[in-house]
Structure 1
C-alpha cells in the first residue's frame, strides 16, 4: 500500500512540473481558440539549442566515461527501434480500415525519437535529483535511425509484393483471354502483352528499384534534429566546450524547453482534427503504443541495470525515448521514403495523441516507477 501511495503522489507531483504544465497549458489555450503564435523560425532555433545542449552533454560524458558501459543500452536502443516498427506492422496493420503502408509509417514514426520529449525527461530527472548517465541522450540516433530505415524498407517490400501480386493476377487474366476466340482487330499488336511474369516485371521495372538503405540513413543524419544533436555530440567529444556549455547552453535549457512545450501543446490540439480523416483505431494505437513501447524498454533497461550497472535514471531515459514519437526529423523522412502513406494518419496519431501521452503520462509513469524501485 505504501508503494502504491508513494507512486501516485510522485505521479501527480510530476504532472504539476513546469515542463508538463506548459504542454497542458498550450493545449488549453488552443482549445479556447487563442490566436497566440510562436514563429516557426524561433521554434527551429529552440530545437537546435536544446538538441545541441543534449549532444554536448553526451559528448563530454562519453569522453570521460568507459565506452563498454554503453554497449548494452546501445544494442537495446537499436533493437527497440526495429521492434516497434514490427509491432505496428502486425497489430495496427491488422485492424479494420487501416492500410498496411500507413500502419508501417506510423510504426516508423513511433519507433523514431522525439528530441523534445527526451529533453523534457532529462529536465524532470534533474528536478527530481535522479542520477542518470550523461551519455544517455546519445542513445537517440541508435533508436531513431533503425526505426526509420526499417519502416521504409518494410513498406517498400510490402508495396513490391503487392505489385507482384497484381502482376500475377494480370498474367492470369491474359492467359485466360489468349485461350478465348477473338475477333480480328481485338489485339492489333500482340507484342504489347507480355507472355511471362519475368517479361511483365522487366517492363514494369525499367530502372533498378531496390530499396537502398544508405540514402535513408543519410537523409536521417542530415535532418535538423539529428544534425544538431550529432554536432553537439562531436563538439563535446573532440573539443573542450565546457565554458560555453556552463555559461550559455545549460542555464537557457529549461526556459527554452518550456516555450517548446507550449508550442507542442498548441500543435497537438490542432492536429486532432487530422485523425478524423483516418480510422479510429489510430486513436487507440496512439494511446496504447507509447506505454507498451516504454514498458518493453523499461524491462530491457532493467536487464542492463542488473547486468552492467546502468542507472535507474538511464532506464527512464531509454523508456521515454521508446515511448516518444519523432516530431521533427521523422515526418519529412517518411514523406520522402514512403510517399504513398497518408501523413494525416501517422503525423496526426503522433502529434495529436502520441506526444501528449509520452510527455504527460509516460514520463511521470516511468519516473515514478524508477523511484519506487530505487526506494524499495
Structure 2
C-alpha cells in the first residue's frame, strides 16, 4: 500500500498539481488565462467522451446493462448519504444541497488520473467504464435539486414554494422546473460528454485514426496542464474552506472514502475486473467541480461556492490523487 501511494504521489500528474498548489499558497503571479482553462476543460470532456463511445461500441447491450444500472444507483444514493452526514454537522440546507450535488457527481480529472494510475501499474479495465463517467454526472445533480424542493416544501415560510404557487403547479413542476432540467441534462459539460460519447459510439473504431493524434496521444500532457491550473485554483480556495471548521474539512476526507468503498463494492457485485472496480470506486468517491458547480450557480445561487467548490478542489481532489486512488485500488485487490 505504501509503495502504491508513493508511486502515485511522485507521478507527473500529481506533482504538477502540487506545484500549482504551492504557487498559489506562496502568492506567485503564475496564472492561467481563463480561455486556456476553458480550452483544457473542453479537451478533456471531448477526449473522455470519444474514448468512452468508441469503447462502448465494442460491447453488446447485455454486457453494459449491469454497469449502467450500478452507476445510476450510485449517482442517486450518494446525495442522500451526503445530506445525512451534513445533518450531523448541522450545515444549512442550501450549502448541504450544494455538497450533495458535488459529491454525488464525478470528477472527470480524478477519473483521468485513475486511468493514468492503472496504465502505469499495468492494470487492465473494462473499456466501457469511460462511458460510465457520463452517466454519473447528472443523477446526483437532479436528485439533489429534487431533494431541495422537497425540503423547502416542508418549511411553512419557504420563499420558493408557497401553497399558492403549488396550487397552480403540477407535482412534477413543483419539484423541479424546466430550467433545472435544462441545466442538468443540457449543460455544457453534459452536452460535450454525451455528444462526444454518441459520436464515438456511432463512429466506432474507424474513428481512431482521426482522433488519436490529438485526443489520445496528447491526453496525458493536457491533463498535466489542467492539473497545474487546478492546483492554482485549489490553493486560492483552501483558506476559504478552513473558515468553516474542522468538521467540514473532515467531511471532505471521509465522504470520498465512503463513496469509494461503496463504488468498489458495487463493482465487485456486478463482476467488474480489478481495474473496473477501482474506477467504479473513483467515480463514487470523487467530487465534481465542472458539471455540478455549473448547475448550482443557476439552480441554487444561495449555496456558497467557496464551500462546495473549495472543498471539492482543496480537500477531496488532492486527497483522492494522493491517497484515494491507491486506497480504492488496494480495496479492490482485497475483494479480488
Scaled by the length of structure 1, the TM-score of the pair is: 0.81
TM-aligned CA distance change 1:141 to 1:249, over 3 Å: closer
1:324 equivalenced with 2:286 (yes/no): yes
Q: What's the offset of the Cα at 1:284?
A: 1.3
CA deviation vs aligned residue, 1:171-224 (integer Å, no higher than 9, x gap) = xxxxxxxxxxxxxxxxxxxxxxxxxxxxx832x658536123664343123222
Q: Give the conservation status (yes or no) of the 8 Å contact 1:132–1:313.
A: yes
Q: Give the conservation status (yes or no) of the 8 Å contact 2:264–2:331.
A: no
Aligned to 2:149: 156
Aligned length: 329
Aligned to 1:272: 238
Aligned partners of 2:27 and 2:326: how far apart in 1?
Answer: 28
List runs of 5+ in structure 2 lacking aligned partners.
Answer: none
CA deviation vs aligned residue, 1:259-291 (integer Å, no higher than 9, x gap) = 111111111111112224435422111111111
Q: Give the conservation status (yes or no) of the 8 Å contact 2:40–2:222.
A: yes
Q: What's the offset of the Cα at 1:238?
A: 1.0
Aligned to 2:263: 297
TM-aligned CA distance change 1:206 to 1:341, over 3 Å: farther
Aligned partners of 2:67 and 2:2: how far apart in 1?
Answer: 28
1:171-186 maps to which residues of 2 (within 5 A)?
A: none
Q: What's the offset of the Cα at 1:294?
A: 0.4
Q: What's the offset of the Cα at 1:111?
A: 0.5
Aligned partners of 2:157 and 2:27: how far apart in 1?
Answer: 49
Q: Give the conservation status (yes or no) of the 8 Å contact 1:108–1:151.
A: yes
CA deviation vs aligned residue, 1:33-69 (integer Å, no higher than 9, x gap) = 2110111211211121122111111111111112212
Q: What's the offset of the Cα at 1:129?
A: 1.6
Aligned partners of 1:55 and 1:43: how far apart in 2?
Answer: 18
Structure number with bigger Rg: 1
1:219-368 maps to which residues of 2 (within 5 A)?
A: 219-239=183-203, 240-305=206-271, 310-368=272-330
TM-aligned CA distance change 1:243 to 1:8, over 3 Å: same
Aligned partners of 1:233 and 1:141: how far apart in 2?
Answer: 8
Secondary structure of the corresponding residue to residue 162 of structure 1: coil
Q: Give the conservation status (yes or no) of the 8 Å contact 2:242–2:249.
A: no
Aligned partners of 1:247 and 1:217: how far apart in 2?
Answer: 36
TM-aligned CA distance change 1:34 to 1:207, over 3 Å: farther
Q: Give the conservation status (yes or no) of the 8 Å contact 2:137–2:291.
A: no
1:18 equivalenced with 2:12 (yes/no): yes
Secondary structure of the corresponding residue to residue 158 of structure 1: helix
Q: Give the conservation status (yes or no) of the 8 Å contact 1:15–1:364.
A: no
TM-aligned CA distance change 1:251 to 1:153, over 3 Å: same
Q: Give the conservation status (yes or no) of the 8 Å contact 1:112–1:144.
A: yes
Considering only aligned residues, what root-mean-square deviation do their CA atoms show, in Å? Answer: 2.2
Aligned partners of 1:342 and 1:259: how far apart in 2?
Answer: 27
Q: Give the conservation status (yes or no) of the 8 Å contact 1:47–1:116.
A: no
Q: What's the offset of the Cα at 1:345?
A: 2.3
Secondary structure of the corresponding residue to residue 30 of structure 2: coil
Aligned partners of 2:335 and 2:313: how far apart in 1?
Answer: 31
List runs of 5+ in structure 1 lacking aligned partners.
Answer: 1-6, 167-199
Q: Give the conservation status (yes or no) of the 8 Å contact 2:98–2:303.
A: yes
Aligned partners of 2:57 and 2:21: how far apart in 1?
Answer: 40
